[in-house]
Amino acid sequence: MAEAYREAGAASLTILGVMGEAPKLDQDESLQFLRCVLRHAGGLPAVVGVSAPGYAPMRALAARAMDEGAAAVMIAPPPGLRGDDAALAWLRGAAQAVAPAPWVLQDFPAANGVHLPPRVIAELAADPHCVMLKAEDWPGLDKITALHGMMARGEMRRIAIFGGNSGNFLPEETARGTDGVMTGYAFPEMLVAVRNLILAGRMDAALNAFEPHLPLIRAEIQPGLGLAIRKHVLHRRGILASGALRAPGPRLTAETRAEVDALLARLAQRDPATRRLAA
Amino acid sequence: MAEAYREAGAASLTILGVMGEAPKLDQDESLQFLRCVLRHAGGLPAVVGVSAPGYAPMRALAARAMDEGAAAVMIAPPPGLRGDDAALAWLRGAAQAVAPAPWVLQDFPAANGVHLPPRVIAELAADPHCVMLKAEDWPGLDKITALHGMMARGEMRRIAIFGGNSGNFLPEETARGTDGVMTGYAFPEMLVAVRNLILAGRMDAALNAFEPHLPLIRAEIQPGLGLAIRKHVLHRRGILASGALRAPGPRLTAETRAEVDALLARLAQRDPATRRLAA
Amino acid sequence: MAEAYREAGAASLTILGVMGEAPKLDQDESLQFLRCVLRHAGGLPAVVGVSAPGYAPMRALAARAMDEGAAAVMIAPPPGLRGDDAALAWLRGAAQAVAPAPWVLQDFPAANGVHLPPRVIAELAADPHCVMLKAEDWPGLDKITALHGMMARGEMRRIAIFGGNSGNFLPEETARGTDGVMTGYAFPEMLVAVRNLILAGRMDAALNAFEPHLPLIRAEIQPGLGLAIRKHVLHRRGILASGALRAPGPRLTAETRAEVDALLARLAQRDPATRRLAA
Amino acid sequence: MAEAYREAGAASLTILGVMGEAPKLDQDESLQFLRCVLRHAGGLPAVVGVSAPGYAPMRALAARAMDEGAAAVMIAPPPGLRGDDAALAWLRGAAQAVAPAPWVLQDFPAANGVHLPPRVIAELAADPHCVMLKAEDWPGLDKITALHGMMARGEMRRIAIFGGNSGNFLPEETARGTDGVMTGYAFPEMLVAVRNLILAGRMDAALNAFEPHLPLIRAEIQPGLGLAIRKHVLHRRGILASGALRAPGPRLTAETRAEVDALLARLAQRDPATRRLAA
């Protein structure tokens, strides 16, 4: 998978994030997975998700990840924080726990119920080790613009902002000025192509490349089931040896598998570059 | 608006649902709105949302709505019900409260956190006044299939199942056997056309009609902001005199408005039937 | 009930709050109830809960309540507000909606999931119509102290702070400087007596009066079931003609009723003033 | 601490539960703590909490715990399970993951939002390795009675039911027939004494022993802050070398510490056996 994403044009990798199966791994498996990916990353920098309810497991995993060659770690807050100041305090402590690792802030309230307004993100970005925001609030485009405005006015230290959410708003977020996209959509080459077209000023061509993928993005972005669909597609593409999720996790019914296969068939018509599926 | 949806091919109307601004109306305004819609519905049957935390307001609104000529009422459970049996008991009481009005069960856990498994829906459908399920679980396609299986095996009284969720999975849910779609997407004529094409066995033509709308559906389906986008589009189409939301509610930023207008311009290229926007 | 609470020493009344059955009433019943209470309040000022998801129903009920002679209205935010600024904006709009009625801010995150940090409460208190905070955060004693500190330092306009939560922390919150207690515990005369003893510097006597009630407070404070227990006790005291809750709501099992009756019997031993129960 | 609880009359110990600081430990620390407790348990059986979002970490910790001499493991479901069947399926998988370890089901919806109705608990109890329910639903007394009824009628395999919730309803739950209490209240000798008195038919004496502790139980049961209070009391008793919580976690303000110290002073008056506090 690492090789496939690199060949697809990815400039970096993110692993052990919250959508995938990181919480289902025990500590030894996490480290084994981490080493395996780094070995096959071909020099691409890798961001390693270390989110946990407490600081000690984050500190331990961050230290191991950096020792193994990770470029940065990623932190999302846990559920249950009471208000902006509680979120700010928790995340400041987390940043200290993983220091001196560079860290990425993941803003994904749909997964944890924690809302981070621009002011809180700006205060966290003041930490010189904070290098990036993974912007996954939904709706979230105006927040990206608000943060860019604060950076332009000198009210916030400059950090990179990458979009996420399976690329669901990739054209809009790129036009709003994001610095990249960090998400595991099963056709990463499309994400690369669309960004490059938009940066080259060719929005119509970008939309022509993007829109055929929207029906599949729509399926992959579903809570819970979306991961099973993504792994099925990666398996169909020959990128994963198996599309099965580790328990506990949903299995695709025959009906859903047929629907996803139909989406892939139609995608192959509309975007011929996607035809190279596994036999 | 009632006239526009009727002209677009709607066979019935639903008003005062949970996505719109019903909770922002006082009781007199709700009744005034209800009468106005029924007066302009041109004979289309209308379903009236009556969901409330308690039974008395539901009973009162249901009685008024039926007196005014509504065809049925719609009920969604409130947040905070503890487990399947609590949801079942609450909804049974609600059905008694609105009796003898025919009622539609709205299954929309993203809005209220209440999960209704097929078994609970089947028990509710045993009420002879229960006429329809508005299926808005997400992901929810396998639930539709499960319910159809129970009806086919005689384990559940037959009721209609209509899709919702702004039509986001209209092709798949129609292929799974839904009886209609009940949602306020700003181009209802597309919903009608796509269903008719699928029922005529023309799935490819249906997808050709559907997919150009997916970028806008993706925008309308966003929590909170989506309603502001829908009203903006209805205003652009000349269907609403104003796109403004009643407070409390978000306003579209200039950036978001420009993005939605760009979606409309692109849609007009891809689906020429949508070009009749207001000047 | 209004007469009983007045005779128990209440200096004011609060009705249609969030713990009780206000959401189960239709609009006409709410007004009928409001008029009935005001008629029997014997001149006590009454605060009327007007919380609703939208502003129009709040505006309508607030206007009617003030016309009928209410002293103020009470507002709690609805679930689903995203972060401090969203809560602040929603509540500012609510205050405008009920203006010029004096209003009480109810801070009760256990009921709605909205956390209001001291800074937000201070900004809301700047509204000259904001007269009181009903402090029901849990744990919440340090927040009371923080707010008093802000008022003392001139960082916040002075408003009254009343405790709630069935009096569960009445001694501590009174010692922290609250201005009163606003809660419906079934023996309000105890609340009055305990406050007076503490204000007179007699903490030990206050605790002697308070502690015998803690087993019953513990039962009344339970989510959902607590209201059924309170109404049962008020019925046993002869204050309510019936202890039944309007559906939907729990009924006391025989076991729970026996437990509450045992708590009352023991309370009668320890606090002889509570012996005047209905035959 | 293990020695102190054993001397206080505890017949078994539970460690690494959800109220404490288990999620703040990394894997090595968890094992170190586990070994330390078992070494000092003086032969008391120990239950080890292994709850995690995925099965692999649970399987790994359960295996290590049993190897080290634990008597059983304890499992609570994670947040986010959608309905009764989802909870049942998740917990069945968890039981398989820790097999053949005996396991305790923790029913604590306030911590995870998962409601387990009696039917689901009965289905889980059918697993011969399921040995106990830790009953912490709130309100939850009627659920205990419902489960006992199902066991008496042969509708559910017999398992032990232990109360929790800091002993807040110890008299009532014991009278309802619980088999023990499993909670970390800072004066465990009171829990033992009260149970023994009730089992001896001396309810009045039990209440005389219980009620002086209710003001402190009320403080310890508070979400978040309660653990800091418990550790402070254990420190005051000389049972912990420090009352500090590992970050992230609240610190007691001077005001709260003074309140807890006042509760301890008053408790020492009312229950002389509690006077042995650290100097």
Task: Select the residue from C82, C88, C107 to test the A interface by mutation, using most A Cβ atoms within 10 A.
Answer: C82
Inter-chain contact A84–C117, Cβ cutoff 8 Å?
yes
Q: Which residues from C are below 8 Å from D253, CB to CB? A: 142, 145
In a mutational test of the B interface, the residue from C18, C24, C26, C58 whose CB has the highest number of chain B CBs within 10 Å is C26
Q: Which two tokens stand for residue A149?
A: 């405005």
Q: How many CB atoms lie within 10 A of CB D175?
A: 18
- pLDDT band, very low/low/confident/very high, at D255 (cuts 50, 70, 90): very high
pLDDT tens digits, C148-171: 999 999 999 999 999 999 999 999
Sign of CA dihedral D7, D9, D14, D18: negative
Poorest-confidence range of B251-255, C22-26, C175-179, C236-240?
C22-26
Nearest residue on chain B to C77, judged by CA atoms? B248
Are C3 and C22 a contacting pair, CB within 8 Å? no
pLDDT at C276: 66
C142–D218 C-beta distance less than 8 A: no
**The three-state (H, E, C) secondary structure of chain D, written as one string:** CHHHHHHCCCCCEEECCCCCCHHHCCHHHHHHHHHHHHHHCCCCCEEEECCCCCHHHHHHHHHHHHHCCCCEEEECCCCCCCCHHHHHHHHHHHHHHHCCCCEEEEECHHHHCCCCCHHHHHHHHCCCCEEEEEECCCCCHHHHHHHHHHHHCCCCCCCEEEECHHHCCHHHHHHCCCCEECCCCCCHHHHHHHHHHHHCCCHHHHHHHHHHHHHHHHHHCCCCHHHHHHHHHHHHCCCCCCCCCCCCCCCCCHHHHHHHHHHHHHHHHHCHHHHCCCC
What does the pLDDT average to over D217-224?
96
C with D: how many residue pairs have Cβ under 8 Å apart?
55
Residue of D nearest to B81 (CA): D115
Helices D55-67 and A27-40: crossing angle in degrees, nearest 10, is 130
Q: ipTM strictly over 0.85? A: yes
Residue range D148-154: mean pLDDT, rounded: 98
Alpha-carbon torsion angle A25, A31, A36, A42, nearest 10:
120
CB C51 within 8 A of CB C30: no
Query: What proportion of chain C, given as a percentage, has pLDDT over 90?
Result: 92
The answer to whether the Cβ–Cβ distance between C60 and B26 falls below 8 Å is: yes
Structure tokens at D232: 């402070």
pLDDT tens for chain B, 279 residues long, are 999 999 999 999 999 998 889 989 998 999 999 999 999 999 999 999 999 989 999 999 999 999 999 999 999 999 989 899 999 999 999 999 999 999 999 999 999 999 999 999 999 999 999 999 999 999 999 999 999 999 999 999 999 999 999 999 999 999 999 999 999 999 999 999 999 999 999 999 999 999 999 999 999 999 999 999 999 999 999 999 999 999 888 999 999 999 999 999 999 999 988 876 644
Query: Which chains lie within 8 Å of chain A at 3 or more CB pairs, if any?
Result: B, C, D
CB A174 within 8 A of CB A199: yes
**Contact D57/A25, CB-based, under 8 Å?**
yes
Counting as low any pLDDT under 70, the low residues of chain A are 276-279
Provide the pLDDT for residue D279.
42
Are D178 and D165 spatial neighbours (Cβ–Cβ below 8 Å)?
no
* Segment D149-173 mean pLDDT: 98
How far, in Å, CA of B13 to CA of A119, rounded?
A: 43
pTM of the model: 0.96
Residue percentage of chain D with pLDDT more than 90: 92
Please report all neighbours of B, defined by 3+ CB atom pairs within 8 A. Answer: A, C, D
- Cα separation of D72 and D63, whole Å? 10
Token digits of residue B252: 């579209």
Q: In the prediction, which pLDDT does B276 show? A: 66
Distance from CA of A90 to the nearest CA of D (A): 6
Across C241-268, average pLDDT: 96
- Provide, as residue numbers in chain A, all residues whose Cβ is less than 8 Å from the Cβ of C119: 85
pLDDT at C64: 96
Distance CA A115, CA A110 (A): 9
Are the Cβ atoms of D84 and B117 closer than 8 angstroms? yes
Distance from CA of A265 to the nearest CA of B (A): 11
Per-residue three-class SS string for C84-109: HHHHHHHHHHHHHHHCCCCEEEEECH
CA dihedral C131, C137, C139, C145 (to 10 degrees): -20
Q: Which residue numbers of B have CB closer than 8 Å to C's CBs? A: 21, 23-29, 52-57, 59-60, 79, 89-90, 93-94, 246-248
Measured CA to CA, the distance from residue C60 to residue C94 in angstroms comes to: 12
Residue A139: asked if its preceding bond is cis (omega within 30°), the reply is yes
Q: Give the residue from C211, C232, C267, C271 with the most D CB atoms within 10 Å of its CB, the best one to mutate.
A: C211
Which residues of chain C lie closer than 8 angstroms to B81, CB-CB?
Answer: none
A-B contacts at Cβ under 8 angstroms: 55
Q: Where are the beta strands (DSSP E) in chain A?
A: 13-15, 46-49, 72-75, 103-107, 130-135, 160-163, 180-181
What residues have CB less than 8 Å from A143, skipping those under 6 apart? A107, A118, A135, A137
pLDDT at residue number A279? 42
* pLDDT digits 0-9 by tens, C69-127: 999 999 999 998 989 999 999 999 999 999 999 999 999 999 999 999 999 999 999 99
Give the number of other Cβ atoms within 10 Å of residue B240's Cβ: 18
B86 chain-D contacts, CB cut-off 8 A: 115
- Tens of pLDDT, residue by residue over D83-128, are 999 999 999 999 999 999 999 999 999 999 999 999 999 999 999 9
Report CA dihedral (C8, C14, C16, C20) to the nearest 10 degrees.
-50
